[in-house]
Amino acid sequence: MNPKSSEQKSGQVVLPGERLGVIEEFIPDSGTYVKDGVIYSKIVGRALMDLLNRRVSVYPLIRGAIVPKVGGTVVGQVGHGQSDNVLVRIFKIGSKKLSGVFTGILHISDVEERYVDSMNDVCKPGDIIRAKVISEKNQIYHLSTNDKGLGVVYSFCSLCGNLLEPKRYEMRCPKCGYIEKRKTAVDYGQEEL
Ligand SMILES: [Zn+2]
């Protein structure tokens, strides 16, 4: 063990996965994780080695940087999808817009209470969707739209790209008349972007 090398690292900018020390040397604090007795940084930030209290922590480089949290609401754009899931580029957490973009995944079983046959009836690439983060397992944000306040908030016609309007249980394109399906939020069309 060489405390001096750790001391020199204090104040430096570290990256996720960067080695900060060992548990014999330090107590891991916020912004760190431990694997096989070695302490690593969990985030991009400034390492702080508190030699007096033998604690190591990493402070986010961007003050108050926001990341999606389990239980929180996010807004994102629907990206590539398969028959049973779609990827969502998250660009808003709560009411805060993000500089960085996180990726979430919405699985067909988390769309709503009742059985959903196809992701095609839920959302399409390009749509804007509001969802709740239900897990961040393996650093992937798993999303749910299972609430009347959650779901698609803006959607676009598959034929002409025009903004779709809700019409009873379907969505209708006011420009070309095409009709398709979505799982919309109750306040469809009102999200501030
Ligand atoms: Zn259209």
Contacts of 159 by beta carbon, 8 Å cutoff, 6+ apart: 173, 176, 178
Residue 148 CA to ligand 1 centre (angstroms): 26
Closest to 72 in 3D by CA, of 93, 52, 47: 93
Q: What span, in angstroms and rounded, lies between the C-alpha atoms of 79 and 96?
A: 21
Structure confidence by residue, pLDDT tens digits, 125-178: 999 999 999 998 766 899 999 999 999 999 999 999 999 999 988 999 999 999
Please tell me which residue, 67 or 65, carries the higher pLDDT value. Answer: 67
Residue 178 CA to ligand 1 centre (angstroms): 5
Structure confidence by residue, pLDDT tens digits, 66-100: 778 899 999 999 998 888 999 999 989 988 877 56
Residue 191 CA to ligand 1 centre (angstroms): 21
Residue 59 CA to ligand 1 centre (angstroms): 48
pLDDT at 65 over 90: no
Residue 124 CA to ligand 1 centre (angstroms): 14
184 forms bridges with which residues in the sheet?
152
Residue 159 CA to ligand 1 centre (angstroms): 5
Residue 156 CA to ligand 1 centre (angstroms): 8
Residue 116 CA to ligand 1 centre (angstroms): 24
Residue 162 CA to ligand 1 centre (angstroms): 5
**Mean of per-residue pLDDT scores for the chain:** 89
Say whether 5 sits in a helix, a strand or coil: helix
Residue 154 CA to ligand 1 centre (angstroms): 14
Residue 179 CA to ligand 1 centre (angstroms): 8
pTM for the model stands at: 0.69
Residue 173 CA to ligand 1 centre (angstroms): 5
DSSP letter string, 40-53: EESSSEEEEEETTT
Residue 54 CA to ligand 1 centre (angstroms): 63
